[in-house]
Amino acid sequence: MLRKRSLALFALIIPAAMVLAADKPPEKPKAPEKPASGKPAKVDFVTQIKPLFDANCAKCHGVRPTKAYSMLTKAKAFTPGESDEPPIVPGKADQSLIVSLMKAKDPEGRMPQKKPAMKPAEIALIERWINEGAEWPEKVQLTPPPEDKE
Ligand code: HEC
């Protein structure tokens, strides 16, 4: 009786353990933060930020950027443009030029140019991404939506 029950338990535990093991890429070190503790997960560049940059900025700062500034790749986006002010300062959204330009009250100086201002929630997400370190995978380039390609 006892034996039978522990066998049944094993039959449950082993497949569960296998599923858990298969889920985890072995080479990835454990992340320091614990999303399980109720803290929201870190903002993800590719799925959350890139779509906002693609839709709002890539037309003028992507493959064929204005000479003022390019945000095609991480290296370019982090390099000061014409004004020489740091566009993205990891950890410091309040010192990042892209944030102050997105929040600008004057439509003339605001980014995206010639478009309605971005939603406060979208800007807040970008600020959170910058404050969390502004991670941007090296090989990921902005891609403007098809309707923006001339
Ligand atoms: C319709 C074209 C257009 C769009 C869309 C656009 N920009 Fe710009 N942006 C410009 C032009 C043109 C300049 C050159 C300076 C100016 O006119 O202010 C500029 C300048 C900038 C600068 C200043 C660079 C410097 O150091 O002088 C930053 C930063 C910037 N844009 C960020 C953004 C961000 C972030 C977005 C998306 C949220 C965006 N832009 C969308 C056209 C655009």
**pLDDT tens per residue across span 26-46:** 565 555 555 566 777 999 999
Is 116 in contact with 147 (CB distance < 8 Å)?
no
| 98 and 67 belong to one structural domain | yes
Round to whole Å and give the CA distance between 59 and 98. 15
- Determine, yes or no, domain membership for 21: yes
Amino acid 126: pLDDT: 98
Residues 6+ apart with CB under 8 A from 76: 65, 70
Give the tens place of pLDDT for each residue, 51-76: 999 999 999 999 888 999 999 999 99
| 9 and 48 belong to one structural domain | no
Residue where the block lists tokens 């403007």: 144
Range of the domain at 73: 43-148
Around ligand 1, the residues with Cβ closer than 6 Å are: 56-57, 59-61, 66, 68-69, 80-83, 85, 87, 97-98, 101-102, 111-115
| 56 and 127 belong to one structural domain | yes
| 140 and 71 belong to one structural domain | yes
**CA 47 to centroid of ligand 1, rounded, Å:** 22
Shortest-distance atom of ligand 1 to CA 81: 26
- Determine, yes or no, domain membership for 68: yes
**CA 100 to centroid of ligand 1, rounded, Å:** 11
- Determine, yes or no, domain membership for 103: yes
| 59 and 126 belong to one structural domain | yes
- Determine, yes or no, domain membership for 102: yes
- Determine, yes or no, domain membership for 32: no
Q: Name the residue at shortest CA distance from atom 35 of ligand 1.
A: 98
**CA 115 to centroid of ligand 1, rounded, Å:** 11
- Determine, yes or no, domain membership for 38: no
| 50 and 100 belong to one structural domain | yes
| 47 and 80 belong to one structural domain | yes
